[in-house]
Amino acid sequence: MPSLSPSPTASRWKGFANERERFLAAYRWMILARIFEEKIAALYRAGKIVGGVYLGRGQEAFSVALGMQLDQAHGDLFAGLIRDQGGRMAFGETLMDSARTYLGSVEGPMRGRDGNIHRGRPTRGMPAMISHLGTMVAVVNGMLMAKRFHGRVDVVGGVTIGDGGTSTGAFHEGLNQAAVEKLPLVVAVADNQYAYSTPTCHQYACADLADRAAGYGVRGYSIDGTDLTACLETFHEAIERARRGEGPQLVVGKLLRLAGHGEHDDARYIPARKRQEPHGGDCVALAREKALKSAWASAKEIDEWHAQTQERVEEAVARAQSEPEPNPFRESWHALATKHLAEGTPPAQ
Amino acid sequence: MPSLSPSPTASRWKGFANERERFLAAYRWMILARIFEEKIAALYRAGKIVGGVYLGRGQEAFSVALGMQLDQAHGDLFAGLIRDQGGRMAFGETLMDSARTYLGSVEGPMRGRDGNIHRGRPTRGMPAMISHLGTMVAVVNGMLMAKRFHGRVDVVGGVTIGDGGTSTGAFHEGLNQAAVEKLPLVVAVADNQYAYSTPTCHQYACADLADRAAGYGVRGYSIDGTDLTACLETFHEAIERARRGEGPQLVVGKLLRLAGHGEHDDARYIPARKRQEPHGGDCVALAREKALKSAWASAKEIDEWHAQTQERVEEAVARAQSEPEPNPFRESWHALATKHLAEGTPPAQ
Amino acid sequence: MSITYLDAIREAQARALEEDPNVFIYGQDVADFGGAFKATKGLAERFPGRVIDAPISEDAIVGSAVGAAIEGMRPIVEMQFADFSAVAFNQIVNQSATHYWRTGVPCPITIRLPSGGTEGSGPFHSQSVESLYAHYPGLIVMTPATVEDAYGMLLEAIRIEDPVIFCEHKLLYYHLKADALPRSVLPVGKARIARVGRHASVVACSAMVHEALRAARVLADEGWEIEVVDLRTAKPIDTDTILASVARTGRLLAVAESFPWGGITAEVVSRVVTEGFHLLDAPPQRLNSKDTPVPYHPNLWRAHRPTWQSIAASVRHLLGL
Amino acid sequence: MSITYLDAIREAQARALEEDPNVFIYGQDVADFGGAFKATKGLAERFPGRVIDAPISEDAIVGSAVGAAIEGMRPIVEMQFADFSAVAFNQIVNQSATHYWRTGVPCPITIRLPSGGTEGSGPFHSQSVESLYAHYPGLIVMTPATVEDAYGMLLEAIRIEDPVIFCEHKLLYYHLKADALPRSVLPVGKARIARVGRHASVVACSAMVHEALRAARVLADEGWEIEVVDLRTAKPIDTDTILASVARTGRLLAVAESFPWGGITAEVVSRVVTEGFHLLDAPPQRLNSKDTPVPYHPNLWRAHRPTWQSIAASVRHLLGL
Ligand SMILES: Cc1ncc(C[n+]2csc(CCOP(=O)(O)OP(=O)(O)O)c2C)c(N)n1
Ligand SMILES: Cc1ncc(C[n+]2csc(CCOP(=O)(O)OP(=O)(O)O)c2C)c(N)n1
Ligand SMILES: [Mg+2]
Ligand SMILES: [Mg+2]
């Protein structure tokens, strides 16, 4: 995100002078994600978005804490899902990549072929998710196996999933595979209490999803996913352990989805009292409180960050909106890299 | 198995007067399974078997202890896999059903359409496995859900799996589903140290597969699967707990596959010393020792059981061999129960 | 009263639940929420305990439906999107489809698949998978194109003793309307002449029937009478009705929304030429989606799938125009 | 020296491992054990660390192969039986097949599927799944029928930048022999005239090529010259070569071992009639396995699949005899 200035950069812990710096860097990624998603939601209501809109509201701390502490330049990986706007950006996705996919620009990483939440840049450590939940764990495993084949054992792959996604066979196979291969994988489970409308009592019967860790022979952590400091510390530890060769780490963050499943969903099935219960808070508001209370930033500074961020977001959206849409007559309509073997073209001679 | 006499009958614990009775009943099922499978293996070597042969040698105690303590007449279910000759028979499969599938008789439960290890009588509590490992857990779940719909909450479903099978997504989804639905399911994991040639270090990274129980919110047990008494007691407890509504029970038995994966496999990849290590013993020999040492049966009595069993097995095999093979010209070649919708028949008018 | 295709699907389920205590519905978010598309709205309240939310475990959902069916139940499984049936593929084609043939015990399950492309849905929320399941022995594959068939065929699907793959088209959910629920529909396995014609036969199913009808209306203005055959079921295919239509018109265009290799259009064309070669006055034609995943952007999506425009163009070609 | 079809598969993998350090093999029991069919025997020892035993997790196996391919590796996945690819179906058709199209990053993986029926193997160790995968955009599907092609095409499969479904027929593993490994084979995507004839064309692939050749020999004794076309790849299909053959013979029989609805025979027949209708002197014919799961008992199995006898009978019918 080179155009956002002054801006935190994706970096490992060592890159930060002190706790304050790390906290504020993360907080500002959270602000960016929140403001960007609010803009996208407004555009959705105005009918300006191609496809659906799924927000990470309430999950920014948990997502950013992982994404920011991975090191893209070093070769780390981050495989985000639909609620990882924060983590994606903090890891290194550009604001334009995000904006372009939502707004249907052909310049986006998926060139209009696939949509906003599925976006990725696989060769830059950001695999492009498919919808089928759980399946990206194995993909990241394979990327890490490839790195190991190439002699790189000090890179870490981060992969995210929701409470609902843990019920998939793919998730199980992937986590078990990572454990058997002792891969440097950090799995972040955002237990946001719902999968679409389904509460966790219909999803799992254990006390805490972190209880699964022992069954795979991996280290488990269970934290308050709305507490940015806890998220930063836990992911820092998990990433460093994975990097040191201790194998997969399973981090479960308890939080609440502060939005509908998608913007088409009013989420009336979530009782209002949930927001008052533990883990029901807004991590962005909580981070702001903490920054103020610790005198790490003044209200005025924070307001300025908001204003600057808002401006950048508007700029990016405006630019994406001015870009061309995909043109079906320019499409190759071939699904193969080996062009001469695509049906409809003459066979090789 | 009405023709085997004197014969133990499938029964719940309450049906046995004392420990001795239960032990000997189980031991005799084990003898039957062992002798039957030895006969089948001999026939396989002689080229008389249709399809492959996979033996339960070394797993009879673990398998029988589950099958025998489930109550077929009461509506319980037993879903066995390839190493459950013992459990199948102890649950209520007839010797003729077993013999017929191996020998290709059209009178067998699968009528030549499907093979020996896939046999079942789904309407008698014995679902017919497909090869894809892990998939039968969900099938048994559904049968138990149906029973619950029909007001039967006091029936128990037993399902078996190997160490390798636990790595499948299907197994995970099934066990989690059972836990969420709190179904009266007993899952027996025969951890026989190998999946085909693959040792468990390539299959899982936890200390004990029973460590998975907590992650599903179910009760876990880890036992010596070669110790018949331990198997009987543990499955008894697990079955009673499931029947009382305590939800799924996960019983892991440590043992060693005392044969090749199939009879085509000489298993030279299993080091000989494994048989001397813990859980490496022959449960049938161990049960015999215990019966003698406890003075529950004399060597002469046991020899007589062997001789009688051998005779019954020979009879059953001879009978199955004399029965007709399937005739392709008598096959309907329709895969649908709704005959008039099968392709090739005229559509309904 | 006006009833949508989606209403019809909901009403058919309500009636089945009412008529048969063995019917139940199982799927993600189907209970209080009423399903991602609201196809089960209100049913959990009306039929307590019989509409059950499932974890995100499609393999186990279908596996357990098979188990329940073995024990006499008649489960209706709702997939959130047809595309997600890919993770239940094994339980569908290897467990449910083989069960009756292997054991003699029927497996009456109905799997409802919200199918087909819509704007902005992309590669994983747009697939048409009828050809996939029709390939496997032991399954019946329904592809209703009308409100009446959505209702009548779903009721039949639930009553049938075999596993039924019920492909409902998302594009028809809200916009397709009828005045009332039908009293009766054609028997399952019979195709329907959706429009009578004499110059060419267009065979289609599901949403493509409506594209074909629109193409036929356009061509009618040019003086061509196009017969449109609505397959209704992808398996079995009612070859007789298709042959009778081709006998009248001498020309065949098969249209489907699924991918071009194999699939319905290949099957229809092959049956017509192997059984009715002499009926044809011109080479039969096929029209499918393009051989790429379903694109996300509407500009691309509209060019990817067959439309009334491309159908009309194909028919003109077929007519030698 | 005599080299079997299975040897050829092993040698191709050995050569690929030797030539390209990015090649590795992943699957159940493939390392020290050498695979269920011994197709990787000795390779783990020769190429330490590059032949890896996997847990029983087909979905993760394919998913991780995709990940490795993204990072520049060239994974060869061995499924123990083609039938088990059903549990990896989603990762194959939705992850690997869409990857290049969606992201522009190629996904060069090869999935080896021991395929097809053998005596006593039954419904879950006998399937021919080429039609399934050929339906999906983004996959190349190879079905080698000869020792030479098993070798040459597998080498090509590993080199190709796209996911390749490599269907090797178990019935050919041990019995099909050649004198030496080929120096070169036809390019991928080209069909082969396996036998020249002029009275009818039989188009087949994999083991069915040999049944067709045997039928042709029998018919030759009766004075009929049957041309046999070996497709080699189920996708892409070399329509030109098929059309050229039909142009010579005027008659077409398409034969495949997979289930009858859809699939290769439908695709071949459809292409010929849409593109070469005027070449045909008689209605084209199809021959597939029957529309049930693959039976276990040899008596039933032999009646279920096409054989030289049933092919000869179909050709006689085609010739109007
Ligand atoms: C295999 C599969 N089944 C169904 C869906 C449809 N679906 C998309 S998101 C979602 C809910 C996911 O819940 P969770 O994993 O808790 O993530 P959250 O949305 O809460 O972040 C569902 C069911 C899917 N994407 N994949
Ligand atoms: C999904 C799937 N993949 C592969 C196979 C092939 N296969 C059959 S048995 C077996 C090994 C099973 O090992 P385990 O579960 O430990 O059972 P055991 O044979 O030791 O009793 C394998 C890999 C299968 N049946 N299903
Ligand atoms: Mg959630
Ligand atoms: Mg084992």
Which residues of chain A does B137 touch, with a Cβ-Cβ cutoff of 8 Å? none
State the pairing for strand pair D177-178/D3-4. antiparallel
User: Is A267 within 8 Å of chain C by CB?
Assistant: no
> How far apart are the CA of B53 and the nearest CA of chain D, in angstroms?
11
CATH of domain C192-318: 3.40.50.920
User: Is A50 within 8 Å of chain C by CB?
Assistant: yes
- Structural fold of domain D3-178: Rossmann fold (3.40.50)
Q: What is the distance between the alpha carbons of residues A91 and A309, in angstroms, rounded to a whole number?
A: 17
Angle (CA) B152 B157 B163, round 5°: 160
End-to-end CA distance of chain D, in Å? 44
Q: In a mutational test of the pocket of ligand 1, which residue from A53, A131, A133 has the highest number of ligand atoms less than 8 Å from its CB?
A: A133
Q: What is the pLDDT of residue A341?
A: 96
Q: What is the pLDDT of residue A10?
A: 38
Which residue among B130, B335, B341 places its CB closest to the CB of C95? B130
Distance B167 CA to ligand 2 centre (A): 10
Phi and psi for D112 in degrees, rounded to 5?
Answer: -90, 125
> How far apart are the CA of B162 and the nearest CA of chain D, in angstroms?
11
Catalytic residue among C99, C125, C169, C199: C125
| Contact at CB, C296 and A167, closer than 8 angstroms | no
Is residue C210 packed enough to be buried (19+ CB in 10 Å), middle (13-18) or exposed (0-12)? buried
Which residues of chain A does D242 touch, with a Cβ-Cβ cutoff of 8 Å? none
When the pLDDT of each residue in chain C is averaged and rounded to a whole number, the result is 97
D242-297 per-position pLDDT tens digit: 999 999 999 999 999 999 999 999 999 999 999 999 999 999 999 999 999 999 99
| Contact at CB, C66 and B142, closer than 8 angstroms | yes
Q: What is the pLDDT of residue C304?
A: 97
Q: What is the pLDDT of residue A115?
A: 87
Give the predicted TM-score (pTM) of the model. Answer: 0.97
Which residue among B173, B202, B205 places its CB closest to the CB of A169? B173
Catalytic residue flag (residue C125): yes
Q: Alpha-carbon dihedral of residues B106, B110, B114, B120, nearest 10 degrees? A: -150
Measured between CA atoms, the residue of chain C closest to residue B181 is C54
| Token code pair at residue A126 | 């950001």
Which parts of chain B fold into alpha helices (H)?
A: 19-45, 60-69, 85-91, 95-103, 135-149, 169-180, 213-216, 228-243, 283-293, 299-322
One-letter amino acid of D39: A
User: Strands, DSSP E only, in C120-220?
Assistant: 140-142, 164-169, 177-178, 192-195, 200-204
Length of chain D: 321
Q: What is the mean pLDDT of residues C186-208?
A: 98
Q: What is the distance between the alpha carbons of residues C138 and C94, in angstroms, rounded to a whole number?
A: 9
> How far apart are the CA of B132 and the nearest CA of chain A, in angstroms?
14
Which residues of chain D does A145 touch, with a Cβ-Cβ cutoff of 8 Å? 64, 67-68, 73
Task: Please report which confidence band the pLDDT of residue C315 belongs to, taking 50, 70 and 90 as the band edges.
Answer: very high
Angle (CA) B117 B123 B127, round 5°: 30
User: Is A338 within 8 Å of chain C by CB?
Assistant: no
| Contact at CB, C262 and D259, closer than 8 angstroms | no
Q: In a mutational test of the pocket of ligand 2, which residue from B60, B133, B193, B209 has the highest number of ligand atoms less than 8 Å from its CB?
A: B133
Q: What is the pLDDT of residue A146?
A: 98
CATH class of the domain at A19-325: alpha beta
Domain boundaries along the sequence of chain D: 3-178, 192-318
| Contact at CB, A197 and C32, closer than 8 angstroms | yes
When the pLDDT of each residue in chain D is averaged and rounded to a whole number, the result is 97
| Contact at CB, A205 and B213, closer than 8 angstroms | no
Q: What is the value of ipTM here, to two decimals?
A: 0.97
Distance A167 CA to ligand 1 centre (A): 10
Share of chain D above pLDDT 70, in %: 100
Within chain A, which residues score under 50 in pLDDT? 1-13, 346-349
To probe the interface with B, which of A191, A206, A218, A249 has the most B CB atoms within 10 Å? A206
Catalytic residue among C11, C18, C19, C58: C58
Q: In a mutational test of the pocket of ligand 2, which residue from B196, B197, B279 has the highest number of ligand atoms less than 8 Å from its CB?
A: B196
The ligand minimizing its distance to the Cα of B161 is 2
Which residue among C68, C108, C138 places its CB closest to the CB of B143? C68
How far is residue A249 from each of residues A219, A330, B255, measured CA to CA in Å? 5, 45, 30
| Contact at CB, D24 and A143, closer than 8 angstroms | no
Q: What is the pLDDT of residue D259?
A: 97
Within chain B, which residues score under 70 in pLDDT? 1-15, 344-349
